[in-house]
Structure 1
Amino acid sequence: MPLARIQIKGHMLWRGPHPIAEGAQKVDFVADEAYEVTPLAQGFADVLNQVASQGYARWEVGATQSVFGKNFAPFGLVQGRHFMEYDLVYMAHGMLFWGARNIDGRGFDKEENRPTNLQIPLVRR
């Protein structure tokens, strides 16, 4: 069951080669243009109304709100700081690979947490 639709807009900062594979690149994703959340399930909207009500209208299913530049505890967003992830990008044989999530649950919030493994590839159609 889908819980939410998230729209993030920003930039990719290319940081140079990543050692995972020849041609892989370190990339930082920065949400410096927009970050919007739309609850798609009533249970999720109810949770947001309990933990993310200050500075927001009442959360309702299908109603989009901007969390850009604001505190938004459910996603660890802090007012005045852009969301950013230290990731990697690798392309091979018409497939796009991103970094795989760390198995211990660490986010990609620091350079030392940048992924060291690849996810299952995306195929261009």
Structure 2
Amino acid sequence: MKQIFRASLFMGWIVVLESCNPSPERSQPSINQGPEVLDAPVQRFTFEVFKNADGTYGFDILENNKVMMHQHKIPNSKDTLGFSTSEEARSVASYYVMKLGKKQQPEIHPKTLDSLIERY
């Protein structure tokens, strides 16, 4: 009985010591851990601002470097005009990328749009 107790105590100490001393395999991420590790350093959604023929600006939303959304005019607007400046287009495109990154629908409320651009 005394030997079983000592063996159990010894095994308990080994488990404690192993859990306190992480091996390099546990502390270093492995490329074989799945898509979460591979997607982490790479931004999945990006955008590019472009100039329209009429001098206004629009943007493309890209998913893994492929165009998934082409926005040549101000969203939720009856006008067919684009953004006055590239900064306005960049601001709204950044908002869409943020929403997509959070796995939300790329929708924009008029009040949010108003806060992102000056003339709307």
TM-score (norm 2): 0.25
TM-score (norm 1): 0.24
Greater share of strand residues, 1 or 2? 1
Greater share of helix residues, 1 or 2? 2
Choose 1 or 2 for highest CA Rg.
Answer: 2
